[in-house]
Structure 1
Amino acid sequence: MSQPTFFQPYISTAVTVDSSLNSLQGIKKNTLSSNPNSYLLAGTTGDGLAPPGYGALYIGAIDGATGSTGSGSGTWYNFSVPSTWNPQQTSCYGPDILTSGSGPAGIGDVALAGTWINSSGTTLGWYYKGSLSALNSDSSGSVSEGFQCFQATTRNSSPANYTYLHSVDGGYVAGNYTTSGGPIGLSLNSGPGAGSFIYNPLSKSQINIQYSDSAKYHSAFGIWANEDSSYTVSGGASYEQRSSRRMKSAVSTVSKAFPDAALGRGMLADVDPITGIAKNIHYYNYNNASSDNASLVTHFQGIYYMGSDVYQAPFFAVDASGSIYGGNAYIHRLSNGKFSENAIWQTFEPTSTGSALGPTSVAGDANTGIFYGGQPFASIGNNESYLLAAQNLK
């Protein structure tokens, strides 16, 4: 089970901003292309958490080349949400390829989702459906057609200070709202008054996800449209902070690095996007630690269906000593519709340039994420052995 090849930093140089905190937060495989190594990557050129920053899209192969617009042999676009919104920052999280066309790598229309910061410092969500080519060199925000602004409503019916639209697939968006900020890609988006939802761009409505479990907070970072018109989400469930001595170092590490993180487990669930009702909910601890072992923080950052009833979820985990891990979890859908009790865990090993501790999204053989130290990476490998192993999970 070989390690992928990491390319880092994987960034756009098409625009110049006063920040080194670039990020990659989403990926979709370009099935329109005859090249198996063709992807649409989404992220931020600049700071993903605060001004300045622009939405970033990479279209093409994941490789070690350097082009005129940045890393890789493909093409980078940088764009802003409409200038009429008076944005201070734009960040792109979730991409989806809708149609073929005359754009780069044969892509026509896309659906995109992310966050933007207004003049008052509020983090809002945005959704775009339209031409990929229209966003080329649009860092001034001249394009308004196809954009929607969205601010989530909290449990007490007040506007959320932080709205995150994470992932888009099959016409719906998975999102979260919180009452306090913090690192986006690696945090759990949880805290007092937090919640997860499905956003419907057609009705411009928020459908809160309804979970039938005892978790205090839930997050939904990834969404996948299945072939039977059902939807599967990935994320996590967080609980009351435990007082175990073994947890103290992990709690300290997480709270310092990721202010709005909470202890919990990775989650997969099927969600009805119309009613919000979740079923087949299942939780995972890193390396399949027993459920009564509270020494782990595990969170799923996205989701991809590999085929053969196997789902892939990039994860972030912290153990009792405060060590941080990242990689992909492989989970089997059983014949009864439920998910396998355990997962196969692919943990990314440190490389000569550091540790890939924060995978943010996955599409089969490819990942996006953040290395220790903050630089974004894109990786490519062969995950067939994990796919085969996961098919045997019960």
Structure 2
Amino acid sequence: MTSAMQRSIFLISIVIASVLAACGGDGTSSSSTAITYTTLNNPIATAANYMSLTGIRGVDNSTDVYITGATIVGTTYIAQLYKGPLTGGGTYYTMPFPSSTGATISSTNSYSVDNLANGAVNLVGSYTTTQNANQQGFIYTGSVTNNPTSGYVTLNYPSARQTIPHSVMNDLVVGGYETPLGKLRAFIYQISTGQFTDLKVVTDANNAVTAYGVWHNGGNSYTIVGGYTDITTKEQAYILDYDSSTGVITNTTTYTYNNQASALTHFEGITTNGNGGYYLAGFGQVTSGGAVSCALVSMTRTILGPLKTAGFTTTPTWVQAVFPGATTQYANTVYQNNLLGTYLPGPIALNGYVANIPTSLIK
């Protein structure tokens, strides 16, 4: 298994632990047999193929969901968008970036989707060509259909070697890019203005920064999650608020796995908990080279300082989810109280799953 089975090919330094070790029990986080696990694979996938399951969003005015990802044959990603019930039985749409003169598409992956009016969507992802193996970002705007030939626009951070948009909601896209010097950085892209903003999480001395999830709180308010490596190369997760009208970042708060000292922590996705807080998809590694644990993280708001600013709790609840029998597992995204990702072994080489976590476990 290579890092290409996950969401970023070039962001190796930020996700390497999820490749080297499986999410599993390490005794530091809660898990329960009350969690219900369901395998979610595209029916066209075979025993030799892989499933990439990357993002999820509820379908407007429906109990259905959209799930992004790809079916992977060898090293070729075939972008897909699933629409239907959370645990399967819906329709998979193939939505690859179209080839054009001088750009023959060799692989496409989709990472996130958002609702537009009249059943249309914004879909973000990345592609490679036979002429250029570097990842190029894109945004698709249009109807949900098989093999659309229009509506795609390349979305690359200026002068970046590679760009991967990871999440889209309302007017913002967040993701990561690689500089010409090989530095890994995070970006915010505002759809309405077509402007990129470099996302500074802590300091310019960060070795690497990623932005993997964005949630629209209403108006100009957004909340963004991801991870960064500090100057000692230890990775921490973060959550912050962003005002799209002013470009101001507030309430930046960093975390280690299960609120304890750890070698690696990363947030992969964000959704509302319906009560002013959020559920996050996260993973962590307590000791370098040790087991990596996947978890749903319950993040609440708190009141900070004399100005009574609504920030984030410093001690969120981590609920570990371990797919039964899995030797390798990833936590990629979250929807309501459901953690989604991939695991192996299973029916195919890499499998999608949904872990429904009872709210009674999320204290």
TM-score by length of 1: 0.74
| Mapped partners of 1:226, 1:167: distance in 2 | 15
- The answer as to 2:352 corresponding to 1:377 is yes
The match for 1:99 among 94, 117, 122 is 117
Residue correspondences, number? 319
Correspondence 1:22-171 to 2 at 5 A: 22-33=51-62, 35=63, 38-46=64-72, 51-63=75-87, 72-84=88-100, 85-100=103-118, 108-119=119-130, 120-132=132-144, 135-136=145-146, 138=147, 143-144=149-150, 146-153=151-158, 159-171=159-171
Q: Distance in 2 between matches of 1:3 and 1:297?
A: 27
* Secondary structure of residue in 1 paired with 2:81: strand
Q: Where do residues 234-383 of structure 1 align in structure 2 (5 Å cutoff)?
A: 234-241=225-232, 263-274=234-245, 276-289=247-260, 293=261, 295-320=262-287, 322-335=290-303, 336-352=309-325, 354=326, 357-372=329-344, 375-383=350-358
Q: Is the 8 A contact 1:43 1:92 kept in 2?
A: yes
Distance change in 2, residues 1:277/1:372 (3 Å): farther
* Structure 2 CA distance for partners of 1:359 and 1:15, relative to 1, 3 Å: closer
Displaced runs of 4 or more, over 4 A: 212-215
Once residues 3 and 161 of structure 1 are traced to their aligned partners in structure 2, the CA distance between those partners, rounded to angstroms, is 45
Mark the CA change 1:171 to 1:356 in structure 2 (over 3 Å): closer, same or farther: farther
CA RMSD of superposed structures (Å): 2.5
Select 1:200's aligned residue among 185, 190, 194. 190
2:193 aligned partner, one-letter code: S
C-alpha distance in 2 between matches for 1:368 and 1:349: 11
8 Å Cα contact 2:339/2:357 also seen in 1: no
Secondary structure of the residue that 1:302 maps to in structure 2?
A: strand
Preserved contact between residue 242 and residue 248 of structure 2 (Cα < 8 Å): yes
Unmatched segments (≥5 aa) in structure 2: 1-31, 304-308
1:386 to partner: Cα distance:
5.0
C-alpha separation between the residues in 2 aligned to 1:332 and 1:215?
29
Structure 1 gap ranges (5+): 64-71, 101-107, 154-158, 181-190, 242-261, 390-394
- 1:4 is aligned with what amino acid? I
Q: Which residue of 2 aligns with 1:4?
A: 35
Paired position in structure 1 for 2:50: 21
More strand, by proportion: 2
Residue pair 1:297, 1:319 contacting (<8 A) in 2 also: yes
Aligned residues of 2:136 and 2:163 also touching (Cα < 8 A)? yes
- Could you say if the C-alpha distance between residues 204 and 229 of structure 1 is closer, same or farther in structure 2, counting changes exceeding 3 Å? closer
Higher relative contact order (CA 8 A, sep 6+): 2
Separation in structure 2 between the aligned mates of residue 314 and residue 221 of structure 1, nearest angstrom: 10
Contact 1:209–1:276 (Cα < 8 Å) also in 2: no
**CA distance 1:381–1:356, change in 2 (3 Å):** farther
C-alpha spacing 1:369/1:327, structure 2 compared with 1 (3 Å):
same
Tell me if structure 2 keeps the 8 A contact 1:12–1:45.
yes
CA offsets, 1:135-177, max 9 Å, x none? Answer: 32x1xxx512x21102223xxxxx3222110000012101111
**Aligned mates of 1:24, 1:282 — CA distance in 2:** 27
Q: In 2 relative to 1, CA 124–334 (structure 1 residues): closer, same or farther, beyond 3 Å?
A: same
Separation of aligned partners in 2, 1:345 and 1:372: 23
TM-score, L = length of structure 2:
0.80
